[in-house]
Amino acid sequence: MSSSPPPSSAAASPSCPKKMIALRSSDGETFEIEEAAALQSKTLENMIDEDCAGTPIPLPNVTGKILAKVVEFCSKHAEPGVDDESLRAWDAEFVNVEQATVFDYILAANFLEIPTLLNLTCNVVADMIRGKTPDEIRKFFNIKSIFSPEEEEEVRRENHWAFE
């Protein structure tokens, strides 16, 4: 461990610049994020605590395109003085994107352990799928249904009333 003073997690004083953390995406792009915003991610928090936040942190599971948005999300959620209603409206706009992108956000939020983003995106997907038919669900998640003909018949019989 280095002998420098312990990293400050308190708000930066006016004379001291806010601590920035550097992140590198899977495709080599570098992003800077304020420490307060980075702490939204449990993964990043652990890395910062272990004082390996010197060099850009490599994130091999997240592309530059998505990482840019994740940084934006975390920064917004670390901003002081934002009221609940505005934040909710901002979140709604943030996830107003195409399905593939929402999936990417989910995977990034899962990898980086950002509970607020994971919760938001899972709710979005839940809303997207609640009214779908089983066939539409299979297409959506790219699931191959491998019921045998007997099982298929039984399942169909068991649940026919669920489709009335």
Partner 1 sequence: MAESMPEDIVVDILLRLPAKSLVRFKCVCKRWRSLISDRAFAKSHLQRLKAGDLIPSQRFIISGCNGSLKTVDYEALDDGGGEGRMVVPHGIKPLWEPRIVGSCDGLVCLLGPSNFVIYNPTTRECIELPGPNFVDRVRLSGVSGFGYDSQSDDYKLVADASSSSDGNWKLAIFSLKSGSWRSIEVPFQEEFNELTGQGVYWKGALHWHVYVLCMYDKREGVIMSFDLLEEKFHEVLPVPVPEVDEDICLLGLGIHGANLFIYNCTHDRRIEGWITDEYGRGASWTKLFSVDCSAIINLDRDFEQTPLAYTSSGKIVIWMDTKRMIMFNPKDNTCKDYLLGTDLVREYAIYLETLVSPYLDGGAVE
Q: Closer CB to partner 1, residue 84 or residue 164? A: 164
Binding mask 62-101 for partner 1 (x = CB under 8 A): --------------------------------------x-
Residue of 131, 149, 150, 153 interacting with partner 1 (CB under 8 A): 131
Minimum CB distance to partner 1, residue 136 (Å): 10
97 Cβ partners below 8 Å, 6+ apart? none
Residues of this chain, 143-162, that bind partner 1 according to CB under 8 A: 143-147, 151, 155-156, 158-159, 161-162
3-state class (DSSP) for residue 7: coil
Q: Give buried/exposed letters for 97-115 (b at 16+ CB in 10 A, else e).
A: eeeeebebbbebbeebebe
Per rule CB under 8 A, is residue 9 in the interface with partner 1? no
Per rule CB under 8 A, is residue 27 in the interface with partner 1? no
Per rule CB under 8 A, is residue 12 in the interface with partner 1? no
Residues 65, 35, 92, 125: is their CA dihedral positive or negative? Answer: positive
Residue of 137, 149, 150, 153 interacting with partner 1 (CB under 8 A): 137
Between CA 26 and CA 99 the distance in angstroms is 21
- Nearest CA to 23 out of 6, 2, 48 is that of 48
List 24's β-bridge partners, or say none: 30, 58
Give the pairing type, strands 30-34 and 20-24.
antiparallel
Per rule CB under 8 A, is residue 106 in the interface with partner 1? yes
What residues make contact with partner 1 under the rule CB under 8 A? 100, 103-104, 106-107, 110, 118, 122-123, 125-126, 129-131, 133-134, 137-138, 140-147, 151, 155-156, 158-159, 161-164
